[in-house]
Amino acid sequence: MMDSMPTTQQRKDDHIRINLEEPVRFREVTTGLERIRFVHNALPELDLDAVETRTRFLGHRLRVPLLISSMMGGVERGWELTRVLATAAQEVGCAIGVGSQRAAIEDPSRARLYQVRDVAPDVLLFANLGAVQLLNGFGVEECRLAVAMIGADALVLHLNPMQEALQPEGNHDFAGLLGRIADVCAAMETPVLAKEVGFGISGDVARQLADAGVAAIDVGGAGGTSWSAVEHHRAGDERARRVSETFIDWGTPTATSVRMVRQAAPGLPMIASGGLRTGLDAAKAIALGADLAGFAGPMLRAAAQGEMAAIDLLVTIREELRVAMFGTGAATLTDLRQARLLGGDDHGCC
């Protein structure tokens, strides 16, 4: 019965449905990756079969430098899709994050709707909570619970001020959040990452987060899924519809955000995500300084087609990444980071 459904559950179901059925991309803003080109190497002196995508991230081995970004959980449909994605992650050897676990912290009977370790015993697995919950009663204990609940290797705290601002039921007070993030980073036994959900992280914010002690940043930049667009489809009245529409193109494009974060926090592990659609996008993001490349919307749509489609998309992205490496003469991801790039630095920096 829709009427008796708790608000968070309803919202999660809405988000999955809207992301699968409605246009949710930025309208004019792109990632900026399409304006960046590799200098082609006509003499790679390499065997394509020898191109190696293995890497380490936060001490964990990955066969490919890819992440299925945090999505879903807490509702039956979300759990089914997350299990499909986790199975694919195990098959291909990439990392995966579950969606916000707030619902299961508040109602432990929902913890089962996040479990994936049985199908993905070896993957690098991220727990997930909204950072703003640290100002609304959550603390170190809830963060530890989220990690323990799913046997995660690390905790992702998502920063989503714009999304919250556009939700009538959202948390609109972010004052004092950085200090709470620092408290959690200091107390947690597992690494804590900070991530945006599609509006990007600036150099200044990256520096603040690095000083607060985060182990890595996921830029979650603009150019892919626009949460203003998603909330636009959920808006309950004319004013909410107009305000969310005004911000459909808000945010720092992913390529710019990756550059800003790399410059501001040179040694900090970084994930590029937000609008990445191909393995060539992933290759460009890594050449710009990212360690992993994250995909959300495309993986959700593949998962809705089933396990084979999800595995197929990851294998295709891996193949595109390998061909891009071959075309730049990069045998390893370390080589790829030295690849020469043309263009794209249009937004200035930091």
Ligand X SMILES: Cc1cc2nc3c(=O)[nH]c(=O)nc-3n(C[C@H](O)[C@H](O)[C@H](O)COP(=O)(O)O)c2cc1C
Closest approach of Cβ 245 to ligand X, in Å? 18
200 binds ligand X (CB under 6 A): no
The stretch among 42-50, 179-187, 284-292, 293-301 that binds ligand X (CB under 6 A) is 293-301
Q: Which two tokens stand for residue 73?
A: 């959980």
Selected from 90, 100, 256, 257, the binder of ligand X by CB under 6 A is 100
Question: What would the x/- binding string for ligand X be over residues 42 to 71, using CB under 6 A?
Answer: ---------------------------xxx
Beta bridge partners of residue 62, listed in sequence order: 55
8 A C-beta contact, residue 117 and residue 90: no
Alpha-carbon span 70 to 242, nearest angstrom: 28
Q: How far is CA 192 from CA 111, 129, 177, 204, 263, in A?
A: 20, 11, 15, 19, 21
The stretch among 14-22, 37-45, 241-249, 284-292 that binds ligand X (CB under 6 A) is 14-22
Backbone angles phi, psi at 83, to 5 degrees: -65, -35
Closest to ligand X by CB, 274 vs 344, is 274
Closest to ligand X by CB, 19 vs 53, is 19
Q: How many alpha carbons lie under 13 Å from residue 119 in its C-beta half-sphere?
A: 18
Selected from 82, 167, 273, 328, the binder of ligand X by CB under 6 A is 273
Question: What would the x/- binding string for ligand X be over residues 232 to 271, using CB under 6 A?
Answer: ----------------------------------------
Alpha-carbon span 105 to 293, nearest angstrom: 29
Q: Which two tokens stand for residue 272?
A: 């590029």
Report which secondary-structure segment, H or E, holds 128.
Answer: strand 125-130
- What is the three-class DSSP state of 229? helix
Closest to ligand X by CB, 203 vs 298, is 298
What's the maximum distance between 2 C-alpha atoms anywhere in the chain? Answer: 64
Selected from 297, 327, 329, 344, the binder of ligand X by CB under 6 A is 297
Residues in contact with ligand X, counted by CB under 6 A, come to a total of 26
Alpha-carbon span 58 to 241, nearest angstrom: 41
Residues binding ligand X (CB under 6 A): 15-16, 19, 69-72, 99-100, 128, 156, 158, 195, 197-198, 220, 224-225, 273-276, 295-297, 300
